Amino acid sequence: MSLSPTTPRSSRPRRVRKPISCAPCRDSKLRCDRQHPCATCRRRGLVPSCCYPNTSRSPVRADPELEPSRDLNPEHRLLPRQISIPDAQAEPEPEGPASEGHARWEAIFERPIDPLCDPPVVASSEQGQVPDGKVCFPFHFGPSVSKENILATLPPRESCDYLISQYFLRLSPLFHVLHGPTFQRQYNTFLENPSGADLAWVALLFTVLSMVLNTLEEDDVPLTERLWLQQLQYTSLQGIASQYRKSAMLCLSEDNFLIRHSLNTLEALLILLYGISHNDGVEQTWALLGTAHNIAIALRCNLKTKPPTMGYIDFERRRRCWAGILLLHTYQAILFRDVDVSFLLDKQEPELFPADVNDSDIHDDFIRKPSSQPTQMSMIMFKLRLFKLSSRICQRLSTPLDAHTLTHFDAEIAAEQAQWDATFLLDGKPSVLDTASYAHWCILQQYAHQLYLLIHRPFCTRQGPGGRADQRTQSQLKCIISGAALLEIQRLFFEVPRLRHYRWYVHGMMSSCALHGAVALASCLLMQSGEFDSSVYLDAFDAAIVRIQAIRGRSPICVKALPILRHLQNMLQPEKAPVPTTTTAVETNTVSEEWAETLPWLSMDMINWDVWQDIVDGPA
């Protein structure tokens, strides 16, 4: 069987392929939907250039709303091939297939090579609108915004000065990761040339402003600042605080913080995470905290010794950031016990801790010796020790405690409390000359009493470990004392005038701890019988309900806590209830057992609110 003759491949007429993409899409190797104009050109602002060579289609005049802005220079709307640097000695390109292939490869080499770039930003880069060959942030937060437009939302100079001073008065003492003199120098440089400021530092400035605005009460704002806020047309301080937080995130996005970062980037992230933890919930910081952790490693914040080429200020700034990373991670270790973060305990080494000195003690070439008095870093140093203990306790709580372990943990917590007393109190009394040290002592005591409740709670019921009556009575009394202490700490921050600057602390985590203390107090009082005098504790419970009702306007946790505490109040004092009720033994046992058996009493979003709502509603 013979094969039919075939025409040699070399002598076949070459079939001309009709272009199926418009010229700009072909040049940039982008997908084209073959519309007229195509969606890609509309998105990239290249509608006038959208044409199909060798076809009957011709360039289309764009609709007025699709046209690029008339304010842009036409030279900014050039194709990649047109913005290449010409060679002065280059000869004219020959025509033909070879030249077409050469032009095609030139277009490939000149297009943006970052596969994660967002198309609108790629188009801006191709049109010459992004300076210095800036690469794109991997996630899309919206259209690109110029630095001038971002800076235009800042408050006037005097208001900005006031808010920054309030930050270092209200927030920095509790989470001291910024070196004050360095921030002051950076701020002075910014005032001299705002447009030349690094975007990472601008993000830090917006973060500081956002954080402090969340701490202010309406009567904390002077008249001049009130007029400025009215001009911004925001109904509340929290509204503009939210807007400034968005501006900070926008600055980080525009600065491509995932692929280029500095200490200012890390400082902004840590303060942002601290604010989210206290105002919105620790569980919302997990992913961003991991990013900050990796950035800290990239910036060598976990070095044990100072490199010879690095000054002491930069070295201590890194160590403070590392301490902030550990503190924020420990919140996660305590709250999410099903997530193993034990590797963090190994990183809490004294060699990695910042120097326990004031900002003024740190200079580029030396650090003064630590003082015997409390410093700006004392709070962080004690928190690192306490959270290391907290992490060990919470890991151990995954299995039932025995009496020996309970006694051991009791002694460790008490030893930490003794050190706080020696550091922050004068003759056993709070100092009237140092308000920050008093706030530090109260906050540390809050964590200690929270830990007391966690370790003694299993021993409060008859089904507790060992079931010993004497141990049960001791643990119940310990929980009554610690529960009342948590309510008292909340009262101090809400009512005492010299703690006014820290009143913002009651809106989030402190009220969450107060709720835990109130439920523990009520549960153990309901378990008590005999001649136990509960009048002092009942008065403290009643006062806490009035306080929580006053706070609930700015505290989501208090909104949820109020009906629960009112129900417990009726159970504790049925004779004072608006509607006479009879508290049954079954209902009392249900409340006590629910508190004793519910593990996550450290975050309002991890509390089983449905169960407590069923208790409030009672039997159907």
Average pLDDT over residues 107-128: 36
Beta bridge partners of 566: none
Residue 433 and residue 371 in contact, taking contact as beta carbons nearer than 8 Å = no
- Is pLDDT larger for residue 91 or for residue 481? 481
Characterise 584 by phi-psi region: left (phi > 0), alpha (psi -120 to 50), beta (else). beta
Predicted confidence band at 556 (pLDDT cuts at 50, 70, 90)? confident
| pLDDT score of 421 | 94
Query: What does the angle CA 528 – CA 532 – CA 537 come to, to the nearest 5 degrees?
Result: 85
Least confident of 93-102, 429-438, 496-505: 93-102
Helix (H) / strand (E) element for 429: namely strand 429-430
Average pLDDT over residues 111-122: 35
| pLDDT score of 93 | 43
| pLDDT score of 115 | 30
Beta bridge partners of 430: 425
- Is pLDDT larger for residue 50 or for residue 416? 416
Rounded Cα distance, 207 and 276, in Å: 11
The chain-wide mean pLDDT, for the chain, equals 76
What pLDDT digit, counting tens, does each position of 187-225 carry? 999 999 998 999 999 999 999 999 998 888 777 776 556
Query: What does the angle CA 52 – CA 54 – CA 57 come to, to the nearest 5 degrees?
Result: 45
Q: Where are the alpha helices (DSSP H) in 171-198?
A: 180-192
Q: What percent of the chain has pLDDT over 90?
A: 31
| pLDDT score of 103 | 46
Residues 6+ apart with CB under 8 A from 264: 186, 198, 200, 201, 203, 204
Q: Is the pLDDT of residue 5 over 80?
A: no
Q: Where are the alpha helices (DSSP H) in 16-70?
A: 23-28, 39-44
| Cα dihedral 387/389/391/397 (nearest 10) | -140
Q: What's at 210, amino acid-wise? A: S
Residue 536 and residue 524 in contact, taking contact as beta carbons nearer than 8 Å = no
Q: Terminus-to-terminus CA distance in the chain, angstroms?
A: 93
Average pLDDT over residues 93-104: 47
Predicted confidence band at 243 (pLDDT cuts at 50, 70, 90)? confident
| pLDDT score of 563 | 87
User: Which residue bears the tokens 């808010």?
Assistant: 163
Residues 6+ apart with CB under 8 A from 19: 26, 52, 53, 54, 55
| pLDDT score of 291 | 92
Rounded Cα distance, 520 and 158, in Å: 47
Task: Give me the helix-helix angle, 469-495 and 535-551, nearest 10°.
Answer: 40
Chain-centre distance for alpha carbon 332? 12
| pLDDT score of 355 | 92
**Max CA-CA distance within the chain?**
117
Least confident of 16-30, 135-149, 313-327, 503-517: 135-149
Is the whole-model pTM more than 0.75?
Answer: no
Predicted confidence band at 82 (pLDDT cuts at 50, 70, 90)? very low
What pLDDT digit, counting tens, does each position of 571-588 carry? 888 877 666 555 554 455
Return the DSSP state at 367: B
Q: Give the 3-state secondary structure of residue 33.
A: coil
